[in-house]
Amino acid sequence: MANKPSESPDKAAVDELDPELVKLPRPKTRIRPIMAMAIIGICLTIGLRLSGDLRFSWLGDPTAVDGVTALGSEHENQFIELHVRPDRPQALRVVPSRSSTGLVLVPTLGTGGSLWLLLPATPWTAEDATNEVYRGRLQRLSDTNFDEALRSHVADGTVAIRPIPLDSLRGALSSGANDVLDVSGDRFTLASTTAVQIEEVATDLVRVVAVSTDPYRDETSWSLALQNAGVLPPETAPVSSNPDTWTFDVPAPQGLAEIKAKLRASKLFAAQASEIRSMRRGIWSELSLDGDDVLLSNARPGYHTVRVAVSAPPLVASGAFVLDTTEEPNTYWYVIIIVLALAAFALLFALGLYRTIRRN
């Protein structure tokens, strides 16, 4: 049997591992100082930004606050409960998108723009609109991402109709002031060109609408019936009519109650009496006083003003608060997990940085 040829010494030397090389230690992974400091800085920055959410997540039941005037810095980032009335016509949509209706930002009445509510974009379901209680996280408006957009929106000339009590209006006109309180107690400073709207009521006239019914089926029969009741002067034509109704403006020196009493006494139940009202528009500088009556330029004889409203922008106080009703402490259950993960990363790289510095 032929012997296998032995391998050459050169080939055996190539295939064998050098024992000296096997004994060499592997190079240790080094953490570059700049990278370590950058990661530690990022972790600390994110952790600081989450610190407010972390503190909020530890809160329990909401703290009841007795009125907006009691709000202060000690209530910031707190879970509170508050009785307020939203100014619903002033609701603004916040961050709508194709997949979400977003939120609704609403000022509260009588607070001078010092408190706004951030609500889900769903219909209000409060049983009693005069006893609404809202709870949520309180923040400064300046700390939100919509502060600038809101103030810009208001500055662009957005206005709403604000009813003004006549007593407040008389006081402003008599003193020559240009600021008034609205019905909710908010104070507005008006320009001479601010739009105003007044509602007037006829002083000595009442409107009677008669409906066709048996036995009064035409204008003649109704005119005679109203004359017999002492409501309609003879030969007074209706101011408007159609085949089934006739409208008469009748003298009422004693007011609406007198005309209603005469209709009831004559059993004319198909005739309804009401005040004659009209709306007129003008500007603030056109308002004046005639005794206790508020007049708009070119005042109509025989009418007196019963309601006045001005067009004014929403109020946004400099240190306004926002009550975010979409947030509660359990909303942020995950924050503690993120903070612990960031702390672990920061500690790991801090240890590596320490060893690198010590080795050098």
pLDDT per position as a tens digit, 189-222: 888 899 999 999 998 999 999 999 888 999 999 9
Paired tokens of 35: 């990278």
Burial annotation 205-243 (CB, 10 A radius, 16+ → b, else e): bbbbebebeeebeeeeebbebbeebebbeeeeebeeeee
Query: In this predicted structure, what is the pLDDT of residue 3?
Result: 55
Residue 223: C-alpha distances to residues 220, 226, 239, 268 (Å): 5, 5, 12, 12
pTM over 0.85: no
Taking only the tens place, the pLDDT of each residue in 221-271 is: 999 999 999 999 998 899 998 889 999 999 999 989 999 999 999 999 999
Query: In this predicted structure, what is the pLDDT of residue 302?
Result: 87
Paired tokens of 34: 């700049």
Give pLDDT < 70 ranges for the chain: 1-31, 95-101, 123-131, 360
- Angle at which helix 33-57 crosses helix 335-359, to 10 degrees, equals 150
Paired tokens of 149: 């957009």
Query: In this predicted structure, what is the pLDDT of residue 281?
Result: 92
Query: In this predicted structure, what is the pLDDT of residue 1?
Result: 47
Paired tokens of 245: 């109704």
DSSP type of residue 7:
P
